[in-house]
Amino acid sequence: MKAKRNQRSGEPSARQNKKKTPAAAPEAAVSDEKEAARPVAEEAVVNPAAEAAPAAAEEARPAVEENAPTAREDDAVFERRLARRQDELKWLYCELYHGDLAAYDYFVSMLRRSWADRKAELRAQDGRREADPDWYRRRDLLGMMLYTNAFAGTLEGVREKLPYIQECGVNYLHLMPLLESPKGRSDGGYAVSDFRKVQPELGTMADLERLADDCREKDISLCLDFVMNHTSEDHEWARKARAGEPGYRERYFFYDNWDIPREFEKTVPQVFPTTAPGSFTWLPDCQKVVMTNFYPYQWDLNYANPMVFNDMTENLLYLANRGIDVIRLDAVPYIWKELGTNCRNLPQVHTLVRMMRMVCEIVCPSVLLLGEVVMEPAKVAPYFGTPDKPECHMLYNVTTMATTWHTLATGDVSLLRHQMDAVCALPRDFLFLNYLRCHDDIGWGLDYPWLKAHFGTDEVSHKKYLNDWFTGKWPGSDSRGELYNDDPRLGDARLCGTTASLCGVEAADYEQNPFKLERAIACDLMLHAWMLTQSGIPVLYSGDEVGQLNDYSYHQDPEKWDDSRYLHRGAFQWDLAALRRDGTTRQGKQFMGLRRLEELRCAEPAFDARADVWTFDTGSAHVLGVGRWYKGRKLIAMFNFSPEFVTVSSGEGGAFDELVYGGHFDDLSHVELYPYGFVWLAHTEG
């Protein structure tokens, strides 16, 4: 059982000692710990093929060594990049850190060190991608997220399985957290004890770099989580802070008693109100209170201390220099804390992210920042920044994902259409990652004011309906999921389960009901077609390509049993994946059906990220209509979220060809859709 955070019985009786604002300490900024934090030489992988030329416009690596730039030329590239951003970077840094020039000078010297450590192949890729800044907006990009241990055991195992990943059409690979974290207190890898080491059972940092090298050779971009809000209590900084070593408690939020923590908790929402209530933890060994917004073993970092920002930025660049292409900024809205606020999305967060964006543009311009911001699109939009001061390159489209599952349970597309209209109103430069399922739960963060205004929906009762539907309790539901972080008092449980199990495949498979199975597979493929129709980068969750079902074995694992998210984090079933090309099996139907959709999307110009996108009334509350237009090519897509046959229409004129099934329509006044069916109708303007 997890210990509760606010062990009030352990409160110290000593007088209040107010938290001091950490001041920058120039001499500490170059302390011995900095040398300890430098990359270990043995972990570096020397690639003899690294003599690649950084010519910006080149698409292929040159074979001749004499084209490689000199060290002086490379340094000049860095200085030019730095000079272009120096004024803004210094201004933001000094504004945030009260004119601490010593800390800033150290920061810039750290950037130069990181640039010096960046190998030639990565510098060459920087040049190519600088010359093609929209490289990550291509419609042929397809992502997949996976756990290394569940998918292939080790990083070397993943490297050996790259041919399978390529067969899936994947060229954007997100490896779920794999840095060192303590057993039993890892939060699925989000409690990092060392940002420079891989969890030993998964391999080494050298293995990660080899995998990154192979991915780069195969044109697969590698994504890795960067947990920047907190460290594990086992991290070196935390251990030294606990021991009272000078300069380390200032990296976190330490207090002598509960006076200030209680003031924080008046305005700060709880992240895990049932499994880890409160936002602070009492440390009996050192008689202190420390801020722990997530779990008691995850100590929040204090970014008001410039040493924290300097050192965490260096950790980010260390990962970028191992060959990571995309850095996922975990829980980024939480990273700045201020008493009297909710400690979410504060202005200083945007300053930090903007500086991190400039850091990447200076040291590693081929690296992208992906922000994990769990809010509706209109509210996440500030994390893109502005055209002249960009922040994150990409953000998750979380609300559309949750609204998609709401639509499946209700059979009514009204809210989803309203949601899509909000997304379509955003600038086309804003790039979202779209997904159906991921490693996390589904939180029902829907637009309840809109639902109440249009349907009289009560939030608590509606959440209960959704959870009853997707756990199979509601009459007629074949979904099979489990609740996560259930709070009966608030009625605010979240949901876990794989796409296939939530679509009814598990129930049909168990009942050996071929009629139900066909409906469930159709539902699964319709949802994936809907995901592929959205603008942005579609991302699969490993196993969904072959319809992997829930894994209930976690109930018997003492390290997992109390976290239902492991329901959809089961080991990849390679024996079932072996059936992926057999069209008589459900795995074959799902794999080959999905691959065909992905290939059609890649070939169809209307799926371009720069396309105009809109929704339209199909004449049925069950069917979502989406239009896309790009350079004279028009796509009309319709998705039936009900288990009934539906006849729908569109006012679009002209003849259309159906891309998936091959039908032809002289007009769209009468289109029949199967239960959970969909159409992709294409028209070329004369």
Cα 105 to Cα 27: distance, rounded to the nearest angstrom: 12
Question: Residue-wise over 630-655: b if at least 16 C-beta within 10 A, else e?
Answer: beebbbbbbbbbbbeebebbbebeee
- Phi and psi for 82 in degrees, rounded to 5? -65, -45
Amino acid letter, residue 485: N
Maximum alpha-carbon separation in the chain: 82
Secondary structure of 571-584 in the HEC alphabet? CCCHHHHCCCCCCC
Q: What is the DSSP letter of 343?
A: S
- Phi and psi for 643 in degrees, rounded to 5? -85, 20
Name 333's Cβ contacts closer than 8 Å, sequence gap at least 6.
Answer: 344, 345, 349, 373, 375
Cα 304 to Cα 325: distance, rounded to the nearest angstrom: 28
Helix (H, G, I), strand (E, B) or coil at 402: helix
**What are the CA-CA distances from residue 460 to residues 49, 445, 492, 619 (Å)?**
59, 12, 7, 30
Name 641's Cβ contacts closer than 8 Å, sequence gap at least 6.
Answer: 407, 408, 411, 412, 413, 416, 526, 622, 623, 624, 676
- The end-to-end CA distance of the chain, in Å, is 67
Q: What is the DSSP letter of 223?
A: E
Could you please report the per-residue DSSP string of 406-449? HHHHH---HHHHHHHHHHHTS-TT-EEEEES--SS-B-----HH
Burial class for 240, CB neighbours closer than 10 Å (0-12, 13-18, 19+): middle
Cβ atoms 52, 69 nearer than 8 A: no
Q: What is the DSSP letter of 545?
A: G
**What are the CA-CA distances from residue 388 to residues 129, 348, 391, 470, 548 (Å)?**
19, 18, 10, 44, 44
Q: Which positions are annotated as active-site residues?
A: 330, 372
Could you please report the per-residue DSSP string of 293-327? SS-TTEEEP-TTSHHHHHHHHHHHHHHHHTT--EE
Name 640's Cβ contacts closer than 8 Å, sequence gap at least 6.
Answer: 526, 620, 622, 623, 646, 648, 673, 674, 675, 676, 677, 678
Helix (H, G, I), strand (E, B) or coil at 274: coil
Cα 627 to Cα 650: distance, rounded to the nearest angstrom: 10
**What are the CA-CA distances from residue 662 to residues 322, 546, 589, 591, 602 (Å)?**
46, 24, 18, 20, 17
368-371 and 326-330 beta bridge pairing: parallel
Cβ atoms 103, 307 nearer than 8 A: yes
